[in-house]
Every structure is written in structure tokens, then in C-alpha cells.
Amino acid sequence: MSGVDPAERDEEESGSRRSRGRVIVLTMVPVIAFAILLASGLGRDPRELPSELISDRAPAFALPELGGQGDISGPTEGQVFVVNFWASWCLECHAEHDALVAAWERYRERGVVFVGVVFEDGEGTALQYASEKEGDWPLVMDPGSRTAIAYGVFGVPETFVIAPDGTIAAKTIGEVTYSWLTEEIDRALRTEVSA
């Protein structure tokens, strides 16, 4: 090999260094993108799920009263309904009961109907639970969980506020608070006025 011009060789080397640098950068792009993608998943609760049925028509139900004879049906046009799914084995249901009682007492005069639907529980244990709790709104069994499924229930407790026009105004998963109840029921009552 006859003498290579040193200037040429340097150029070649720096060229290969440049291409090496380019390869490194090219390799890093998908890696960093992947990392960012995974990072975006942080801070999200994987158990949080969106409420599908908001502003959809609330499924009608006619369910046997707990420990009683007849059926309770709903929702009724022109009235605000609060449908609460619960079970005796559900700890959060125990916790939220006071909030429900308070809201029920506040709004019973104004024609707001509270209905408690038993979810995945035996009639005996449900009655036992109910007898230990305050409040006197109708409680119903849900044979085959057909109503729960119709409402897209994932578990208990879940509470739905139904507006007078029959659409689902609000839904919450987990322990319901008095402030949430009052806020949503007030809003639902207001739609009655405008309608």
C-alpha cells in the first residue's frame, strides 16, 4: 500500500467517528422513547376506570324487596333517584353508610328516592347488616346480578345519581361522601327545574 495522504486518513477516521456517533444517537432514540412511554404510565392508578354510562339512559329495574314481599321499581320519570350498590361483606359500604343516611334525611322531603341494591350477597347476611344500620330507604335483592351488570358495576360500593329525565347524572366508585352526594343531587334537582 503506497503512502496514504495523512490528511485523507484523518478525514476518513473522523468520518467513521461521525458515523459511529450517528449510530449511537440512532440507537438511543428508540430506547429513550420507550423509557418515556413507560414513565407516562407512572402516577396513573391502574384500577381507576372511567364511568361509561354518564348521560346514558339509566336501566330500569324491578327488584324484590329485601326481606319483603313486593317489588321495588325505578327509576321514575320526574324524580331524582340515588341507586347505591352494597354488600354486607364490603368494608367501604360500612364506612359510607353514615354519609348515605345524612343525605337521605336531607333530601327525603324533596322527593329524592334512595334505593340500596344488594350485590353478590346472601339474603340472610344482607338482612343482618341492614338491621344493624340506620336509615329506612328501600333495599332490594338483585337475582343473577342482572341489574348490577346492566349498570356496569365492577364492585361495591358504587353509587349512581339519576336525573329526573331518566339519565345517569353521576357515578362514583368506592366510598361515597356526603359532599359528593349533596353536590350531585343538587345538580340533578336543578335539571328538573329547567326541564
Partner 1 sequence: MAAFVGTVSLAIAFALALYGGAVAIVGVRRRNPSMLESARTTAYSVLALVLIANAAMLVALLTNDFSVRYVASNSSVATPTFFKILALWSADEGSLLLWNLVLGGYLAAVAFRFRARRPETFGWALAAMYGVVAFYLLLVLGPTTPFATLASVPADGNGPLPLLQNHPLMAAHPPFLYLGFIGFTVPFAFAIAGLITGRVSDDWIRITRRWTLAAWTFLAVGLTLGALWSYGVLGWGGYWAWDPVENVALLPWLTATAFLHSVMVQERRGMLKVWNLALVVGTFSLTVLGTFLTRGSILSSVHTFAQSIVGPMYLAFLTLVLVGGFGLIAWRRDALRAESTLDTPLSRESVFLGNNVLLLAVTFTVLVGTIYPLIVEALTGEKVSVGGPFFNRNTLPVALLLLFLMGIGPLLPWRAASLSAVARRLQVPAWAAAAVAVAFALAGAGTAAIVVFGLAAFVGTATIAEMLRGVRAQRRAHATSWGVATRAAVTRNRRLYGGLVAHLGVLVALVGVSWAALGDASGELTLRVGDRARVEGYELRLDDLNVREEAHRRVIVARITAFDAESGEEVARLQPSLNLYPGSSEPIGTPSIRVGTPWNGMRDLYASLVSVDAEGPAASIRFFVNPGIGLLWVGGFVIAFGGIVAAWPSRSPPKRGSLPAEVEETREEVRV
Partner 2 sequence: MRRTWLLVAGAAVVIVAAALLARGGGESATIEDRAQAISAGLRCPVCQNLSVADSPSRLAGEMRAEVEGQLRAGRTDDEVRAFFVARYGEWVLLEPRSLLPFVIPVAAVALGVGAWMLFVRRRPRAERTEVSDAERRRIDVDLRSLEEGA
Query: Can you give the binding site for partner 2, defined by CB under 8 A?
Result: 49-50, 52-53, 56, 120, 144-146, 148-155
Complex with partner 2: residue 49 or 95, whichever CB lies closer: 49
Partner from partner 1, partner 2, none contacting 34, C-beta within 5 to 8 A by type: partner 1
Q: Considering the complex, what minimum distance in angstroms separates the CB of residue 142 from partner 2? A: 9
Partner from partner 1, partner 2, none contacting 117, C-beta within 5 to 8 A by type: none
> Would you give the distance in Å from CA 182 to the centre of its chain?
18
Lay out the site mask for partner 1 across 22-61 (x = CB under 8 A, - = otherwise). Answer: -xx-xxx--xx-xx-xxxxxxxx-xx-xx-----------
Complex with partner 1: residue 4 or 38, whichever CB lies closer: 38
Partner from partner 1, partner 2, none contacting 144, C-beta within 5 to 8 A by type: partner 2
Complex with partner 2: residue 84 or 112, whichever CB lies closer: 84
